[in-house]
Amino acid sequence: MIDPDVFDLDFEGHLKRVAELTDDVLIPAEAEMVETGAVPEHVMEALARGGLFGISIPRALGGLQWNMTQQVRMTMEFTRASCVYRSRFASVIGLCSQAILDHGTEEQCKRMLPGMAAGELITAFALTEPGAGSDAGSLTTTARRGKDGGWVIDGHKRYITNAHWADELVVFARTGSSREGAGGVSAFLVPRRSRGLETRPATRMNGHAEAPVAEITFTSVEVDDSALLGDRLGGGFPAALRGINHARLHVAATCVGQATRILEETAEHLLGRDQFGAPLADLGAVQADLGECFAELEAARALTVAAAEDFDTGSIPRHRIAAAKLFSTEMASRVADRCVQLLGGEGIVGDHPVPRMWRDVRALRIYEGSSPIHERNLGRAVVRQVRSDGTLPDTYRVTGRQTV
């Protein structure tokens, strides 16, 4: 449950509360998380009480309703702590809640969103399959009509964040009602404890180790008619993209938070480590590395905030969001890699947080669209748009193309 007084805070007040939570609870609990191999329960409770599950959900449905610019600023703050914490509630605030909010029925919104905002109803977003990763439109999980109405789901999903802890899953399945590809896919709200539904967490993770993704198998899982998201057949992909675009911008913000902490921790180390008779931080070559990291970090911050501000004007600037996701995730890996180098042996041996974060941020270049997929899609969009009217996608130009 969100602490009642959080609802009385204005955005800057809540941001300050979240910054304090990050410094006083989240960062200090990282050692316990690594030691036990799981996000501690008291941290999950603190996240829920602090309102983190509810930042994107309307006040009328129990959330805090911060706009996208505010959400990314807040994300940049709490992701100075391990991004594993975020992955325990990311599927609620971005992927699932936004798909339900914009594509669900009024009944589904009222049934799901207040519990999600409070951190009491955990959801997972089940799109990826063994044969359908980057090419998600080729998924083969099916939902067919049951003998007595309702739907029967069969199939296999993998790499699903929070599936093992979730109360409900947003499942994308082929209803075969219309075209092949993405057009014949619908979304369903499926209780995780349904008969015939099994989840198995990954036994080994390289990065994000304390929040393993899971596989899900569906063997004739029966759900009733009210499970169809939005009451509309074939509407699965628009709903998925609504959640995914939201989540991509949050991932971009996460990379800014992670790189901020990585750079601060590294500079701190360099100030305290003397070699050749002086702190490493005084060496010109080391400062050049730090300067380059800082410039890249600030470019990612500016791009992410600009995309969020666009989002808040009403339309979803999907190309600019993809650019922010691509640039920020690559930036975080570059910054982390340089900082591991600057730490020397401590970047590989021992408990310094930077090498752990270096492993964690690697995954961010793979989910919510891998970097090569974003490069390909952005390149295609540039060619398509220039061919059509001579401008760039989501262009900032205030006039049309000048024809000669």
What burial letters (b/e) apply to 158-192, b meaning 16+ CB within 10 Å?
Answer: bbbbbbbbbbbbbbbbbbeeeeeebebbbbbbbeb
> What three-state secondary structure class fits 301?
helix
Tell me which stretch binds ligand FAD (CB under 6 A): 74-82, 127-135, 301-309, 342-350. Answer: 127-135
| Other beta carbons less than 10 A from residue 397's beta carbon | 9
Cβ 356 to ligand FAD shortest distance, Å = 15
Structure token digits, residue 251? 């991932």
Tell me which stretch binds ligand FAD (CB under 6 A): 140-148, 179-187, 248-256, 368-376. Answer: 368-376
Residue 95's closest CA among 305, 245, 317? Answer: 245
Cβ 162 to ligand FAD shortest distance, Å = 7
User: Which residue in the set 66, 85, 125, 311 belongs to the binding site for ligand FAD (CB under 6 A)?
Assistant: 125
Q: Is 287 exposed, middle or buried (0-12, 13-18, 19+ CB in 10 A)?
A: middle
Interaction of residue 214 with ligand FAD, rule CB under 6 A = no
Concatenated DSSP letters of 302-313: HHHHHHHHHHTT
Binding mask of the shown chain, residues 136 to 165, with x at each position contacting ligand FAD by CB under 6 A: -----------------------xxx----
**Which residues from 291-350 bind ligand FAD, rule CB under 6 A?**
none
Comparing CB distances to ligand FAD, the nearer of 21 and 116 is 116
Interaction of residue 237 with ligand FAD, rule CB under 6 A = no
Interaction of residue 134 with ligand FAD, rule CB under 6 A = yes
| Other beta carbons less than 10 A from residue 321's beta carbon | 29
Residue 122's closest CA among 87, 154, 174? Answer: 87
Tell me which stretch binds ligand FAD (CB under 6 A): 8-16, 36-44, 279-287, 361-369. Answer: 361-369
- Rg over CA atoms, the chain: 22
Comparing CB distances to ligand FAD, the nearer of 240 and 305 is 240
Q: How many residues does the chain have?
A: 404
Cβ 185 to ligand FAD shortest distance, Å = 12
Residue nearest to ligand FAD (CB): 133
Interaction of residue 366 with ligand FAD, rule CB under 6 A = yes
User: Which residue in the set 81, 213, 303, 340 belongs to the binding site for ligand FAD (CB under 6 A)?
Assistant: 213
Interaction of residue 84 with ligand FAD, rule CB under 6 A = no
Comparing CB distances to ligand FAD, the nearer of 125 and 151 is 125
Comparing CB distances to ligand FAD, the nearer of 13 and 181 is 181
Residues 247, 262: Cα–Cα separation, whole Å: 22
Comparing CB distances to ligand FAD, the nearer of 296 and 360 is 360
Comparing CB distances to ligand FAD, the nearer of 179 and 376 is 376
Concatenated DSSP letters of 191-239: ETT-TTEEEEE-S--SSSTTS--EEEEEEEEEE-GGGBGGG-TT-HHHH
Q: Which residues bind ligand FAD (CB under 6 A)?
A: 91, 125-128, 133-134, 159-161, 208, 213, 363, 366-367, 370, 372-373, 376
